[in-house]
Amino acid sequence: MNRFTQSLFLLLLVGSLSLYSSCKKEKVAPNDYGIFSSQDANTAVMNGVIGSQTPQHWDNFIAAFPNTTKMVMKDCPGSEDDTANLQVARKVRVQDLHIHLPADAEIASGAVDFYLAGTKRTRDAGSKIGVHSWSDGGNKEATDFPVGHANHQPYISYYKEMGFSAADAEAFYYFTINAAPAADVHWMTDAEVIQFKLLKP
């Protein structure tokens, strides 16, 4: 094998290995649960940011732990992908779960929307629930669009799917986007949590 042939062979080999490595990274393993873990046979724990792979991770988790009846949310600061967030929340809703916030829990932004997927929702004193306006990734935030604008409807419709009346869904949604700008967060008071019916015993 001459030097040119040898060099070409090495380049092809390295390229193949690189392609294999990239494909391997993109593949989701059957036991990849992402931000979900199992506390016991009936209890899931959620800890982390919701991303594009989270719906698949949930599918993997519930396939491995089909007897899950409860989820404990801990440090869940929000979502990097709103579409994936609502998608996985709807999947969780189908499972008819009790979602609980322990005293040290902090959930915010999209994770609050996720929390509403629980058919039973409880919290311990000290847990924190944070809301704010969404941003389109550019210069506009939710409050830049008038009340009733189509951009608001996906969230309001989602809240109604989660059991809120039309009036309660709108009231909570518009409260969240006016409570704080996208770059900030408003930690809801106990009175606000009750007022907007976030808990469901």
- Same domain assignment for residues 40 and 19: no
Q: What is the pLDDT of residue 117?
A: 98
Mean pLDDT of the chain: 89
Cα separation, 119 vs 108, whole angstroms: 19
12 pLDDT above the threshold of 60: no
Q: What is the pLDDT of residue 137?
A: 79
Sign of torsion, CA 29 35 41 42?
negative
In a domain, 63, yes or no: yes
Strand partners, 101: 123
Q: What is the pLDDT of residue 159?
A: 98
In a domain, 4, yes or no: yes
Which whole number is the average pLDDT over 180-199?
Answer: 97
pLDDT in tens, 127-176: 999 999 999 878 899 999 999 999 999 999 999 999 999 999 999 999 99
14 pLDDT above the threshold of 50: no
Q: Which domain holds residue 15?
A: 1-30
pTM of the model: 0.85
pLDDT in tens, 39-64: 999 999 999 999 999 999 999 999 99
- Same domain assignment for residues 165 and 70: yes
Which whole number is the average pLDDT over 182-194?
Answer: 97
pLDDT in tens, 109-128: 999 999 999 999 999 999 99
Give 28 or 132, the one with higher predicted confidence: 132
Q: What is the pLDDT of residue 21?
A: 38
3-state helix, strand, coil in the chain (%, to 5): 45, 20, 35
For residue 118, count CB atoms less than 10 angstroms from its CB and return exposed for 0-12, middle for 13-18, buried for 19 or more: buried
Q: Do 181 and 132 meet the contact criterion of CB atoms below 8 Å apart?
A: yes
In a domain, 84, yes or no: yes
Which secondary structure element, helix H or strand E, spans residue 170, and what is its range?
helix 166-179
- Same domain assignment for residues 54 and 17: no
Q: State the total domains in the chain.
A: 2
In a domain, 200, yes or no: no
pLDDT band for position 103 (50/70/90)? very high
Q: What is the pLDDT of residue 2?
A: 38
